[in-house]
Amino acid sequence: MQEADLPDVLEIERQGHAFPWTETIFLDSFRGNYRLWTGWHGERLVGFAVVAYLFDEAHLLNLCVSPELHGQGIGRKLLRYLLGEAALDHIWRVILEVRVSNESAFHLYRSEGFRQIGTRPEYYPAADGREDARVMALELRD
């Protein structure tokens, strides 16, 4: 991802999340310990992923695909790509949070080998207050 991609990224983020990240949050992610990737369909940016690295662990902070393209494998491709890059960067574990209501994302992560390791109560903002998050992890090496 490059800063020039932000208008498209912000639009995907607004379409994909009821409580989207701001431009400032994305700009803060252009620091050295973050990895940012985009997914493309032809010439069109259709998804992105933001990962923070801390020593030998990675934290998947945001993975979003244009809603009209859900179910076409773009999220899976982005996920596999970032996992491959993390392994090349000698990351040993990737963690993430996912809303308990986001069953499709939960099943995607499970199908790629992530396992639930806990919950974070009231982690996400929600229309009626707060929503719990499942904490998931994938070990990239033993």
Q: What is the DSSP letter of 102?
A: -
List, as residue ranges, the binding site for acetyl-CoA.
102
Cβ distance 61 to 105 under 8 Å? no
How far is it, in rounded angstroms, from Cα 63 to Cα 108? 12
Q: Which of 23, 43, 85, 109 is catalytic?
A: 109
List, as residue ranges, the binding site.
102
Catalytic annotation on 81? no
Q: Which of 13, 97, 124, 131 is catalytic?
A: 97
How far is it, in rounded angstroms, from Cα 101 to Cα 113? 20
Amino acid identity of 115?
R
Cβ distance 45 to 31 under 8 Å? no
Catalytic annotation on 34? no
Catalytic residues: 97, 109
